[in-house]
Amino acid sequence: MVAGMRTAIALLVVGCSAPVTAPAPAAGPRPVEAPAPAAQPPPPPPPPVHARPSYPHARTGDVTDTFHGTAVADPYRWLEDMGSPEVGQWVRDENALTDSYLGALPGREALQRRIAELVSYEAFRAPTRRGPRYFWVHGDGKHNQPTVWTAAALDAAPSLVLDPNAISTDGSLAFAGLSIGHSGKRLAYGLSIGGGDWQTWRLRDVATTRDLPDELAHIKYYRPELTRDATGVYYSRFPPPPPGKELTETDHDCKIYFHKVGTPAGRDTVVYERPDHPTWQFEPIVTRDDRYLVIITGDGQVGDRGVELVSYLDLQRPGSKPVALIDQYDAEYRFLGNDGPVFYFVTTLGAANKRVIAIDIRRPARERWQEVIAEGPNAIQGASLVGHQLIITTLQDAHHAVAAYDLHGKKLRDVELPGIGSAPGFGGGPDDKETFYTFAGFTMPGAVYRYDLATGTSTPWKSPQVAFDPSSFETTQVFFPGKDGTKVPMFITAKKGLPHDGGNPTILTAYGFGGISSTPRFDAARVAWLERGGVYALVNIRGGGEYGEAWHLAARREHRQVAYDDFLAAGDWLVANKITSPPHLGATGASGGGMLVAGALMQRPDLFGAVLPHAGVHDLLRFQLFGQGAGWQGDLGTIENPAEFAALRATSPLHNVRAGTHYPAVLLTTADHDVRVAPLHSYKLAAALQAAQAGAAPILLRVETASGHGGGTTRTQAIDQQSERYAFFAAQLGLKLE
């Protein structure tokens, strides 16, 4: 639900300056006993109780659906008509209530100033070499959007290629992506209104830094690919949505087009389509030798279901048609690159922890496929083919380990990382002599390293300086038993010397969906929470991919309740070990994680003092009808199957709201340009919770403007949104901000 279920941003993870327990056995994590808490002073009193808000009126209708003989009421169906004047007024009233409530929270302005200070640092993304030049994205910590730079050498004076701040001075057009031609002569860049998924891409000449007249519209998810001579572009496009249906129109009839630079987009030719399968989508990849266009096909967004088809087009044979290489949805196939006619893939075929295979397209029969790197005890999370080497990233108890192999599968060396954390990157071309990666942890900002492929040496290239002392914090990793006894890992980050008195305001988060693994990630705004005494806990529940496909499948479809059981067990562990207590325990998650924490709230409202679901999928009986939702049926299941319907009904946040319940404080957040998860999910759940609330704790809805699925795309928006959310948790969980 975040940039594709297999590749989208997973939520949060481990600090690098802190002690972490010894590795668990290959079969899965082992338990680590929590240290016996020393005698502590009595915990602070619970947070103050606020007066019950007066909620905007939300009428109820009499809509009822019947599934497999079960009647299910849907009284807030009218909120699905997000363009209607009635819904628009209700949203404005909800935002006004939220403004009034959150605007009065003590310490919010001081928190916002501190977050602004923390996020005001220079950040660099790993550079890439194209032709004779390096390119990279840079954020100066001052402007709303990052910029793109180029240089002939890493130590040469760089020049500015693209400044989105000059294109959109107010940030309303968000920088949505970058694609650089292999020659380095031209690049393509995407812009989206308010950070939504619908994107328009433009072409720019690198030497002159001027845009060409070409414009490619109605693009989602998949970046365009330029030919080596930069005279053509292959891109994946959807039909334009009907006016007013931009947020709800389902993804359909994706096609791959070829655009000849300098010609009108209306003349672009269709390279690949499957009108017999309107839900299929296509990701185009031009190989670095410019010989092949590889087409990865998914039913729904590529990666969402974890199974793909693969075709290719020989670009040196004019008039040729795409050739099917893998023609059945039997496993995940992630294309790594090619060595001439030999294609390399990471796959789950016969390997729950994944393996690397090679397919010679001259002899493509399955019995001729070659295993290059066998399945190992740890799951493969990332892989790349660069400099005639395979760089493989595996997961060791939810943090990264990296190793280099030759193209025959011989291990060359382990890549020595700076600590325990996450190391994305290692991209490049087959003839490169170097590659780059970023290393980060909970309290370690992302530093960029150059990796020498011949010597295996890592050298820092750019190290950000953030205004805080990371040595004052520590991260520990614990393993606790889930409801069924399975050991589940959790990272806990806090100030050193954390008291075990049950009074620590704590935010618990997880994702646990679509096989996505949550690994270490730095968030500067989170430091403001930690340095004031707050605790941050990430639990690696089942449904993710931290221990391979078996970990993912354990909480899929009719087994979805397992993810909720793991998350609730994490909360119970934090309480039992006096890290916190229910009045001081908060829960948050985004997208699939938003669905998770909202569902956990319905099952255990007594466990939490505050819950913040962001962009969550909350109506699990109708999610498939909107936007990208149909693609999630691979993980969530379908209402057409009786057993899966029963699981969806039992875990759907919207359908498990109970009138007369004392719910803790809830802040539901969504965005007006979220095409991925339609805002209507949050609308309906907010209305239902407000009507059902028997207590005084607030149930608030924030509909963020000019924002997409991931929240605000500009620096200003991010500061506002983060300070608002942390101020909400501070007020509800008892953290003093001033």
Question: Which whole-number Å values give the CA distances from 504 to 29, 44, 497, 583, 725, in the listed order?
Answer: 26, 9, 12, 10, 18
Q: Residues near 231 by Cβ (< 8 Å), separated by ≥ 6?
A: 260, 261
Amino acid in the structure at residue 147: T
**Angstrom distance (rounded) from CA 382 to CA 378:** 12
Show which residues are catalytic: 591, 709
8 DSSP 8-state letter: S
Strands 665-671 and 610-614: what pairing?
Answer: parallel
Bridge pairing between strands 292-299 and 280-286: antiparallel
For the packed helices 715-733 and 108-119, what is the interaxial angle rounded to 10 degrees? 140
Q: How many CA atoms lie within 13 A of 199 on its CB side?
A: 24
Are the CB atoms for 517 and 580 separated by under 8 Å? no
Decide if 336 contacts 384 (C-beta within 8 A).
yes
Quote the CA–CA distance of 317 and 202 in Å, as a whole number: 28
Classify the C-alpha dihedral 249-255-257-263 as positive or negative.
Answer: negative
**204, two tokens:** 């720019």
Contact 40, 501 (CB under 8 A): yes
- CB hemisphere CA count around 63 (13 angstroms): 10
The helix or strand, by DSSP H or E, that contains position 309, with its residue range, turns out to be strand 309-314
Angle at 678 between CA 675 and CA 679, to 5 degrees: 120
DSSP string for 203-259: EEETTTTEEEEEEEEEE-SS--EE-TTSSEEEEEE-PPPPTT-TTTPPP---EEEEE
Q: Are 201 and 189 in contact (CB under 8 A)?
A: yes
- How far is residue 673 from each of residues 544, 591, 705, 722, measured CA to CA in Å? 27, 14, 7, 18
Strands (E), 68-172: 70-73, 123-124, 128-130, 133-139, 147-151, 159-162
Tokens of 116: 């602004």
The span from the CA of 322 to the CA of 335, in Å, is 16
Burial of 575 (0-12, 13-18, 19+ CB in 10 A): middle
Beta 199-205 vs 210-219: how paired, if at all? antiparallel
Strands ordered across the beta sheet of 255-260 = 225-226, 232-237, 255-260, 269-273
In sequence order, what are the residues at sequence separation of 6 or more whose Cβ sits closer than 8 angstroms to the Cβ of residue 609?
Answer: 46, 47, 582, 583, 584, 585, 586, 664, 665, 732, 733, 734
Cβ-contact 270, 282 below 8 angstroms: no
CA–CA distances in Å: residue 124 to residues 346, 465, 480, 735? 28, 11, 37, 33
d(CA 450, CA 425): 10
Quote the DSSP letter at residue 49. P
Q: Beta strands 699-704 and 665-671: pairing type? A: parallel
Within its chain, how far is the Cα of 414 from the centroid? 27
